[in-house]
């Protein structure tokens, strides 16, 4: 036991590097689980489509399709891609500065791990929606993957809208009062077997939240 304590005291870097490696491994596992859940959800939705169980509302299809095309247009915009590349370069420079700073102070590299991770987190928070689709070696967007993913996301939003409305009004019987505004928002009334609800869409602007919106549903009759 005494020898093990001495060994750990003499090699703190190795011990802490193991902790850092374990943290990275756990993060990779969480990401893999997210991808698995996504593919399982896609498979479930595909089965519903094949069975003809997905309800069709043209105005809602138009709403999510417009949202999808807007997202694809913004992400693949050459100026957006250019800014993302510049931000990634700045991220790597900042990480290098941190490493050099710790080295100059004679501190082990593992001590800068969380600071470097914070820099990566800030980049992903601001530019992840573009970086996820970048082919960095060619500095361009993977359009095939972008189209595939946002087709799936649009389908998710379509199903979520129906689910939210039916929670309040029961099975939907009439969507003819719904209309799409100039900003791509959907508003109006949805009629169901139990009630009628007012629908309003509030979009979120800004670099990080530009693709987000909230749909407010309120029973009126």
pLDDT at 210: 47
Sorted by where each begins, the domain ranges of the chain are 63-219
pLDDT at 6: 43
pLDDT at 14: 53
pLDDT lower than 70: segments of the chain: 1-20, 34-54, 204-212
Per-residue pLDDT reduced to its tens digit, 156-177: 999 999 999 999 999 999 999 9
d(CA 42, CA 140): 26
In the chain, % helix, strand, coil (3-state, to 5) comes to 65, 15, 20
Per-residue pLDDT reduced to its tens digit, 178-211: 999 888 889 999 999 999 999 998 876 555 444 5
pLDDT at 28: 79
d(CA 176, CA 57): 9
DSSP bridge pairs for 200? 216
Q: Do residues 198 and 175 make contact, with C-beta atoms less than 8 angstroms apart?
A: no
pLDDT at 13: 55
pLDDT at 211: 53
């Amino acid at each position: 036991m005494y020898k093990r304590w001495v060994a750990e005291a003499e090699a703190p870097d190795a011990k802490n590097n193991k902790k850092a490696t374990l943290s990275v491994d756990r993060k990779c596992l969480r990401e893999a689980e997210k991808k698995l859940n996504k593919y399982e959800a896609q498979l479930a939705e595909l089965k519903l489509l094949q069975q003809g169980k997905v309800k069709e509302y043209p105005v809602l299809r138009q709403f999510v399709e417009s949202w999808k095309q807007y997202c694809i247009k913004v992400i693949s915009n050459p100026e957006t891609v250019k800014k993302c590349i510049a931000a990634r370069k700045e991220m790597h420079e900042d990480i290098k500065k941190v490493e050099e700073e710790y080295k100059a102070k004679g501190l082990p590299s593992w001590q800068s791990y969380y600071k470097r991770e914070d820099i990566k987190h800030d980049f992903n928070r601001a530019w992840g929606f573009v970086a996820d689709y970048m082919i960095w070696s060619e500095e361009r967007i993977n359009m095939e993957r972008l189209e595939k993913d946002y087709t799936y996301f649009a389908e998710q939003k379509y199903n979520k809208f129906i689910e939210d409305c039916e929670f309040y009004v029961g099975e939907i019987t009439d969507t003819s009062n719904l209309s799409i505004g100039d900003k791509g928002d959907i508003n109006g009334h949805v009629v169901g077997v139990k009630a009628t609800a007012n629908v309003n869409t509030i979009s979120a602007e800004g670099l990080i939240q530009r693709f987000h919106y909230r749909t407010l549903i309120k029973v009126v009759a």
